[in-house]
Amino acid sequence: MTNRIRNHPVLAVPTRETISFTWHGRLLTGFAGDTVTSALVAAGIDCFGRHSKDGSPESLFCANGQCSACLVMADDVPVKGCMTPLKQGMNLSPVNDLPSLPRDDSPPQFAELPVRDVGVLIIGGGPAGMAAAIELGSTGVETLLVDDKNMLGGKLVLQTHKFFGSEEDSRAGMRGYQIAKIMEAEVAALPSVDVCLDTTAVAVYSDGVVGLVTGGGLPGHSRYHQVRPRRLLVATGARERMLAFPGNTLPGVFGAGAFQTLVNRDLVLCSRRLLVVGAGNVGLIAAYHALQAGVEVAAVVEFAPNVGGYAVHADKLRRLDVPILTRHTILKAVGNGHVEQATIGAVDEEGAVIPGSEQEWAVDTVLIAVGLNRVDEFYHKAQEAGIPVYSAGDAAEIAEASAAMIDGRLAGQTIAAALQHGSAPSSSSDWISKLAVLRSKPGPTHAQSPPAQKALVEPVFHCLEEIPCNPCTSVCPEGAVATEGDLITGVPYLFKPESCKACLNCVRVCPGLAITLVDSRTDYHHPTVTVPYELPHTELTIDTEVIVVDRQGEELGVYPIIKLLKPSRAYPATALVQFRLPRDIAWRAAGFRPMTSPAAAIAAAVAAAAQTIICRCERVTETEIRDAIRAGVRDLNQLKALTRTGMGSCGGKTCRPLLEDILRQEGVPPTDFTPLTERPLFVEVSLGALAGEKKVRS
Ligand code: SF4
Ligand code: SF4
Ligand code: FES
């Protein structure tokens, strides 16, 4: 168990029971609560087999049950490692070539498969699903909430950062995993809400029945059951987009969400140095989470001319000397069985790579954060089947989790009203406007100017972009902070300059770590500046010299720490660090980095290019697909028959968006091609489970 996180500035590292398992006959240990994938990666194993087509290594990509890259044999049964809990004595082995099934000649026994009628079925127990269940449960509507993980929370449990939005509506200032715990307790307290964990929705049938499999990840323990809901809410979230580049299936190329699952949920240190592709909020936050876990971030590259995520997230990285390279893209990843190097290049205004701009970076991991796709196939099938169906959260529109909570709440209200033959409650229009604001893109960025210097103590707001966030206003006991125009998207400012009592609440609550406090009461010319800090800080002591930087990481000088303030009970894990700085730079100081901050290393060697894989399940290359399209193929089902693209065990969920991108790039508009036909089952399920087989394997 070498790759474990033992200290984390935000997360507690629990003591867990050690359990033994074997990998390919080798005795290893993991922890109770691990998935098979997390235990293997913690043990230093991330090649889970060899693909049957080309013998290339298979590893994980999504860690969320959406692709099937992490297929392994567990006690002779092929399972997705990321969805299968590790058990004492489990025998794990790689899938080399095609998986073989255990010989079993005993006659199967089948059980009746009753259909359970429920008022509302919610698929997905993330922020939207839980919020909807709370609304429905609070009005007594019979609700079944199912989730494919062994805990509620969805992406909230991966989110160690504080939330934006407002305290009142989206618990701004709290961390995602804390919000998940609170909502889970609220759901548990509602008698009309039944929760089924470790339960995957696998199909929506034309007779209005939804098929569910419980215990799907555990060999021999799957139970298939059927539900007929009066209303269906699809809150299934989103899946990560893969990116087409040579080397994109090498072990070490993950989705950003997979990385957050390993690092933040499972406390597995799966990288030492990584490159992030994509500077939206997901990529920027994942990069910061990496730094918190002690992983070096070589750079964040972004194809677009501008950072897509919030400026406060980007600024946090810049202050720590992480380069954010816009108009850059990844060209390839290479390595011997694992990523060892990534090549990036600059792109011009047309998106073409500029010759000679290539740079090679020595990294062991490439995080793909180029966007998400809605998991909405259940929604469309339910519509076809005539089931009254709703969607909420990322399954409806990709946005922040704070928006998903409000969307779920709205969906719950709408469904409750529909079932009770009423109209939507009057508060709905207010919530609809709030949802629109939370889903909006960041607005313009304002210039930063020195404070008016009227007060001897005052917060400085290094938050200059219009984003939906305002907990700095609501936590101030003096009511001294406001946002421009009193809008949640307005930039904050000190509304009553003489009122600040230096309580530091605003500094601690800010999710962007974008507020400092400048206190000139004891020395006007050398004020004390307090800055928030959420990275490992065991080496920081009083008198440690660090590089103080401005909002975007420009160095202001080397200064010693004069005081370290522990996190408060209300805002755990946000430490405060104080400096005494000359007055002219005090208002500019926004953070610091240690003197030993490693500079980005540039590797020398260039390895041979690998093929660009589009369909990772079937190892179909971009060239094969483009050739078929250029030969006139316009039906993705025909493309599937010709090349096997989309025929793999993920059911085409991973490659379909890339296929559609390639068609567009080849000049084929969406109206001119036939999409892949949805399979009747969206998730792998054994025939025995589907038939209600009673036998449990020993
Ligand atoms: S430090 Fe306290 S009193 Fe001063 S503005 Fe911030 S929250 Fe208000
Ligand atoms: S300064 Fe205020 S508005 Fe800006 S990120 Fe921090 S809490 Fe949100
Ligand atoms: S990537 Fe799974 S079927 Fe293509």
Does residue 226 sit in the same domain as residue 147? yes
The C-alpha atoms of residue 306 and residue 280 are separated, in whole angstroms, by: 10
| Within-domain flag for 610 | no
Does residue 82 sit in the same domain as residue 23? yes
Q: How far is CA 353 from CA 303, 326, 343, 621, in A?
A: 10, 13, 12, 21
Q: What is the CATH number of the domain that holds 635?
A: 1.10.10
| Within-domain flag for 323 | yes
User: How many Å lie between the centroid of ligand 2 and the Cα of residue 590?
Assistant: 13
What pLDDT band is residue 140 in, cutting at 50, 70 and 90?
very high
pLDDT at 275 over 80: yes
CB-side neighbour CA atoms (13 Å) of 639 = 34
Q: Specify the ligand 3 atom closest to the Cα of 242.
A: 1
Q: Is 285 in the pocket of ligand 3 (CB under 6 A)?
A: no
The C-alpha atoms of residue 497 and residue 484 are separated, in whole angstroms, by: 15
Give the sign of the dihedral formed by CA 547, CA 175, CA 232, CA 213.
positive
Contacts for 104 with CB less than 8 Å, ≥ 6 apart: none
The residue from 384, 404, 439 where one domain ends is: 439
**Contact predicate 300/324, CB 8 Å:** yes
Quick: pLDDT tens for 640-669. 998 999 988 888 888 888 898 888 888 888
| Within-domain flag for 409 | yes
pLDDT score at 102: 66
| Within-domain flag for 155 | yes
What pLDDT band is residue 475 in, cutting at 50, 70 and 90?
very high
Output the residue whose Cα is nearest ligand 1's atom 6.
506
What pLDDT band is residue 680 in, cutting at 50, 70 and 90?
confident
Number of compact structural domains in the chain: 4
Nearest by Cα to 359 from 342, 372, 380? 342
pLDDT score at 429: 79
Summary count for the chain: helices (H), strands (E): 17, 37
The residue from 370, 387, 410 where one domain ends is: 370
Does residue 346 sit in the same domain as residue 475? no
pLDDT score at 529: 98
Q: Specify the ligand 2 atom closest to the Cα of 481.
A: 2
Q: What token pair was written down for 584?
A: 């002219």
**Residue to substitute in 458, 472, 506 for testing ligand 1 pocket (most ligand atoms within 8 angstroms of CB):** 506
Does residue 350 sit in the same domain as residue 382? no
Encode 617-635: b = buried (16+ Cβ within 10 Å), e = exposed. Answer: bbbbbbebbeebbeeebee
527 burial via Cβ count (<10 Å: 0-12, 13-18, 19+): buried
pLDDT top residue among 215 and 247: 247
3 state DSSP class of 205: coil
| Within-domain flag for 445 | no
Output the residue whose Cα is nearest ligand 2's atom 2.
472
Q: What is the DSSP letter of 367?
A: E
User: How many Å lie between the centroid of ligand 2 and the Cα of residue 273?
Assistant: 30
| Within-domain flag for 296 | yes
Q: Is 509 in the pocket of ligand 1 (CB under 6 A)?
A: no
Contacts for 572 with CB less than 8 Å, ≥ 6 apart: none
Does residue 622 sit in the same domain as residue 519? no
Q: What is the CATH number of the domain that holds 161?
A: 3.50.50.60
Q: What token pair was written down for 304?
A: 């677009």
pLDDT score at 685: 78
Does residue 559 sit in the same domain as residue 651? no
Beta bridge partners of 246: 612
CB-side neighbour CA atoms (13 Å) of 571 = 27
Q: Which domain holds residue 296?
A: 18-100+242-370
**Contact predicate 514/591, CB 8 Å:** no
Does residue 249 sit in the same domain as residue 324? yes
Percent of the chain as helix, strand, coil, to the nearest 5: 25, 25, 50
Does residue 185 sit in the same domain as residue 71? no
Does residue 143 sit in the same domain as residue 231? yes
pLDDT score at 219: 54
pLDDT score at 628: 87
Q: Is 463 in the pocket of ligand 1 (CB under 6 A)?
A: no
pLDDT score at 640: 93
Quick: pLDDT tens for 495-528. 898 899 999 999 999 999 999 999 999 999 999 9
Q: Is 645 in the pocket of ligand 3 (CB under 6 A)?
A: yes
Does residue 410 sit in the same domain as residue 510? no
Q: Is 510 in the pocket of ligand 1 (CB under 6 A)?
A: no
The predicted model gives 313-319 an average pLDDT of 97
pLDDT score at 449: 80
pLDDT score at 607: 28
Q: Is 455 in the pocket of ligand 1 (CB under 6 A)?
A: no
User: How many Å lie between the centroid of ligand 3 and the Cα of residue 640?
Assistant: 10
The predicted model gives 108-124 an average pLDDT of 90
Predicted-complex ipTM score = 0.89
What single letter denotes the amino acid at residue 299? A
Secondary structure (H, E, C), 281-329 = HHHHHHHHHHHHCCCEEEEEEECCCCCCCCHHHHHHHHHCCCCEEECEE
pLDDT top residue among 2 and 48: 48
Contacts for 688 with CB less than 8 Å, ≥ 6 apart: 108, 222, 695
| Within-domain flag for 9 | no
| Within-domain flag for 696 | no
Does residue 248 sit in the same domain as residue 345? yes
Q: How far is CA 338 from CA 96, 171, 255, 335, in A?
A: 17, 40, 15, 5
Does residue 400 sit in the same domain as residue 322? no
What pLDDT band is residue 218 in, cutting at 50, 70 and 90?
low
Quick: pLDDT tens for 434-458. 899 999 889 999 988 877 666 799 9
pLDDT score at 597: 47
What pLDDT band is residue 482 in, cutting at 50, 70 and 90?
very high
